Structure formats: structure tokens, C-alpha cells
Amino acid sequence: MNLNEYPTAIAKLQYQVFGFDIAIEQAQMTIKQIEAEIDNEIAFDATLRNDAQRKAKRQQLLDEHPQYWEQQEILSLNKGKRESTFIELCLRRNEFSVLKLEKREAIARLELQANS
């Protein structure tokens, strides 16, 4: 990759990371909504007499909820993809920095040769 191509490549990776951040946030919000609905249902269930029963019922309802585990999987996949893309982003930034330093060093050598 040429030096002038790095800013565009870095920006694309930053957009991808941002997209994964949004997807992660959406999945987390959906999970929280599902949990809130279930907690609300449990709070008004008079048949549940103690915390152990409430916890067991909560887990049962979460296990049975059609979207809960799907959202957990989406969350996990997007976190993995985000982390992978972020690592690639850091690599590109570092490569860009190294190339810039190499160019500066080459320019400095040329100036030294011209002044000698």
C-alpha cells in the first residue's frame, strides 16, 4: 500500500468499527428491553414467593424468549468482529506511522547529501 492510500484505508476501518459499535449498542438495548419485560412480569407474579423462585422463573423466561439468545449471539459476533477490525485499524495506523518515519529519514538523508 502506498503512503497516500493509508488515510482512506484507516478511515474505512474506523467506519467499520463505528458500525460494529452501533450494532453492539443496539443488541445491548434489545437485551435490556427483554430483561426489563421479564423482570416486570416477575415483579407482578404473586405466585413467586421468594428470591430463589424469582431467579429461577427469570432464567426460565429468558431461556424461552425467542429473541434473547439470538440477540446474545448477535452481540457476541459483533464484539468479535469489532475487536478484529480494531486490531487491523491499529495495524494500519502503525504501518502508516512507520512509513512516514521512513520517508522523513529518506528526506533527511537527501538533505545531508545535498549539503555535503
Record the pTM.
0.83
C-alpha–C-alpha distance, residues 15 and 33, integer Å: 27
Residue keyed to cell 468499527: 17
| Residues 35-55: tens digit of each pLDDT | 999 999 999 999 999 999 999
d(CA 20, CA 84): 11
Give 41-95 pLDDT, tens digit per residue.
999 999 999 999 999 999 999 999 999 999 999 999 999 999 999 999 999 999 9
Nearest-CA neighbor of 54 among 64, 67, 43? 43
